[in-house]
Amino acid sequence: MLEVSPPKDNEIDLFELFELLWRSKKLLGAFLAISISLGGSFIYIKKPIYESKIFFSVQNKPILSVKNQTIISEYKEMFYSKSLFDVWKSENEKSELLYDHFSITKVINGFTFIRDQSDLLAYFFDDKKEKLSLLVIKTKNLSLINDFFKYANFINIKLTSSYKLRSKVDIKMLQPQLKKDNLPQNSVLFLYMNRFINSAENGRPVIAIKPPIYPEKISPRITLIIALSIFLGGIIGTTFILVKNKIRERKEIGSLMWETFIVLKILVIYISLLFDLFIRVGDNFKRKLRGFNESKLKQKMVYSSN
């Protein structure tokens, strides 16, 4: 006849576990309070990061045959020009904006590398679905948002001057041909370039740049930090109570040392998993900070090939 073995002493009964936690609710509450206090201290000490966006689009097309994306690409190329930034910086010496804040390349030991987007304070993004182009700015210093806006307008003026000069050169080359052939398409092109030059000289730039949107605080994420603090405090507090209870129940030193070792090992595993969770959450948050989709940032490849 089969004998039914009695339940083992080391099996955990959920009712007994809840009863034990209830009896030790003050100790568990102390762990939760300490954990939440540490999380709150981190939130208080951590300097917040703000995000703002500057939207821009082509409003004064210099030549009929030029696509808007070509104009935007040329604007970005000038935006990342170190020489143009140095000119702007010489006119705005009090600004805290540095070229390294947004430069997409970095030279290490003579080799040029593309910088990770998470290391940049600002980067361009083109949303093809919404047909929007924007400059995303993430910074702890709110004054830099206005500096980026000033620099963006400075580049816009330089781009407009460049197109205006090219249009004047094209008109001079087109005038003899216009008198000779008198083709309708040449007349239309001549009138269009003249209209662009006049509008540019009257202060209408090629790119329409809107002021930055109101900065949004994106870090630290208070709700997530408090939730993780409560979870961490609960896990550590529960493990400590179980260890304390086992030490009180067991009298055999050998068994006590072994079980204490097992519980402490579980505690270490818990803590390592929680730290891994924090790291994963941090990495995931960094990926979100990179913008809507890194794969769409094709300008990096363009500039690296140049």
User: Along the 306 residues of the chain, how does pLDDT read in single tens digits?
Assistant: 444 445 445 455 778 888 888 888 888 888 889 888 888 888 888 889 999 999 999 998 887 668 888 899 999 999 999 999 999 999 999 999 999 999 998 888 888 888 888 788 999 988 777 677 899 999 999 999 999 999 999 999 999 999 999 888 888 877 776 666 665 556 777 788 888 889 989 999 999 999 999 999 888 888 888 998 899 888 888 888 888 777 776 655 555 566 666 667 766 776 666 666 666 666 665 555 554 444 444 444 334 444
Which residue's entry shows tokens 């073995």? Answer: 5
pLDDT for residue 233: 87
pLDDT for residue 1: 42
Q: What is the pTM of this model?
A: 0.69
Contacts 24+ apart (CB under 8 A), 290-295: 290/117, 290/118, 291/117, 291/123, 291/125, 291/136, 292/125, 292/127, 294/117
pLDDT for residue 128: 75
β-bridge pairing 132-139 and 49-58: antiparallel
In order of their start, the domains of the chain are 23-46+220-289 (no CATH), 49-218 (3.30.1890)
Beta bridge partners of 107: 112
